[in-house]
Every structure is written in C-alpha cells, then in structure tokens.
Amino acid sequence: MSTPIIQTFPLGTPWQTQDPFLFSVYHLDHFPKGNGEMGPDPSLLKGRNLGNDFDPRENWRMYHGQTIPGFPYHPHRGFETITIVNKGFCDHSDSLGAAGRFGEGDVQWMTAGRGVQHSEMFPLLHDDKDNPLELFQIWLNLPRAGKFAEPHFKMLWHEDIPVVQDKNAQIKVVAGKYKGTPAIDPAPDSWAANPENDVAIWNIHVEANSEYVLPKASADANRVLYFYKGSEIYIGDRKVNPNFGIALDPSTEVAIQIGDEKAQLMLLQGKPIGEPVAKYGPFVMNTNEEIQQAMEEYRLTQFGGWPWPYPDHVHDKDKGRFALYPDGKLVEK
C-alpha cells in the first residue's frame, strides 16, 4: 500500500525546512505578569543567561532581551521573514523608520531584500495577568533576482486574514489559496507573489477524534506538515506523534485521522527556487563571496543605521496595534 509520507523527523529548534523555506521556529512562552515596565519582575531573572536565554527547560525565555523579552536590533539580507503571532504581542522597529505593534492573530510579512535592521520585542503589556506568547517565524528565501529588492514590510491584520471552516477543521490562510479562498497578497517581491510557485502557509486546527483531508498541490512543490500540538495523528496505518514534521507527496490528497486531542498543524509548501544557498547568520545569498560582500556592506552602512533610542526599542505601553510605514503612513487598529 503506497503512502503519501516521504519522511518524518523530530521538530527541533529551529524546525527543519525545505526549499523555498530556509528556517522556521516556534516560540511558546508562558510569560508572567508584567512589572509595569513591560518586562518580568527582575527577581525572576536571577540565574538566567541574560542576552542569550534560550533554555528549553524553562516555561519562558528572555531570548536576547535583557529587561524585556525579544530580539534587539539585528540585520537581515536576501530573504523574507513571516511572523505569525497567535497569542501575545510583538513590537517591531526597523532601520527604515517603520514600526508596529501586532499580535493576537496578526502576521507581519517583511522583505529584507538588499538589507534592513529590525528589532522584535515581546512586551508584557498585562500587569494583572499572565502574558502568554505563541509565535511562529518563518524565513522564505528570495531568488537571485529578488535578493536586492527594496526592503518592504506589510501587515496582515487578523481581521482580514481568511479563516476557512472545512468540516472539522479551521484553516488560517496566511499564504496561498485554500479550496478557492485566497490569502491576502504577500509582499510584492516575494516568491509567494507568483501563484505558479504554489506557496502555501496554512495554520490548521482539527477537532479531536475526526478526519481531515489535506487537498493536493502542484506535483513539483515541496510540502511539509508540522504537527506541533495534540496527542497523535494517523496517516494511513502510520502513527505520528506530536512534535514531528511530515514531508508529504504533494500530488495526492492526504487523509489524516486525529487522535484524542485537538491537533494543531502548520503547513509550509512551495515550488523550490532551486538556486545555491549561502547562509551566514542573518545573511542569505547565493555564494560565499556574496555573503562576504553583505557583511562588508553592513559594516560600512549599517543598512541605514538605527533611528530608535534603544536597540531593544518598544512602543508606549498603552499603544494599541498599529503599523507605521517608511513613508509615514500610520494604520491603527
């Protein structure tokens, strides 16, 4: 009996990905009440490796933050970041002068292109209750022709993102098309902007003790389903435990039996770019020589410098969800 499963693999940090995706990481942090300054009580930070706090044994992590959790300013070049915040909030600031606060289901799509600096901080806005954070960050590669595109960021507000109810499943369509329902257009220079590339990013929640049928895709797409929360699922006679990725044959629909708990899955799919990939930290080019050039250019230009007062800049505590674009346009939600 044939199976649509090509491979299964355990989910590490980051998750294993396939072309055109470069990287995917899942953050689930049970942050405590805020201390009034958008960070945790300083007494809770004793013994932590501040500046590099990634201990998976802890209920929450500070990452590279010292007083507020998150990732102070850092550069990117040659790819895109897609940041999905299901719970909690992310404060964005960048070297273009753009900024935003998004969360509770919002998505930010940022094309780094020729180079940008940005910070991503996780302010603890609630002082009277805990501040849980659930966040995915996905790196989507750019082809050679797009690696020097102008930097661009776009907000996909949760009120506008399509959510499809398909029998026992709910599918949040971040990219691609789900059974005729298209996602919001991605950033303009993205590999996902061309429908022929069949890029899909779907967050799928399926009820317990039910069946879900994943529709088929282009035969030449890479397709990986990440099972990140639940009890167990079955594909044919194959049992898959949570915290496993499943590379699937894209040319066939896949019937998935859900176990005794609701299953939460992330699908990343797309036709491969098929170009050489050279990576060094936050730089992704086609050759090592281009990586050296990117590092030298960043050293000389800082990709425009940093216009904010702090490397770990956060916005006013009482500010709601918003986006400030490089041209000065302000959108408040």
pLDDT at 1 over 80: no
What gap in Å lies between CA 245 and CA 265, rounded to an integer?
9
pLDDT tens figures, 15-48? 999 999 999 999 999 999 999 999 999 999 999 9
Distance of alpha carbon 112 from its chain centroid, rounded?
14
In this prediction, residue 2 has a pLDDT band, given cuts at 50, 70 and 90, of confident
* pLDDT at residue 138, as a whole number: 98
| Percent above pLDDT 90 for the chain | 99
| Percent above pLDDT 70 for the chain | 100
pLDDT tens figures, 230-286? 999 999 999 999 999 999 999 999 999 999 999 999 999 999 999 999 999 999 999
Q: What is the pTM of this model?
A: 0.97
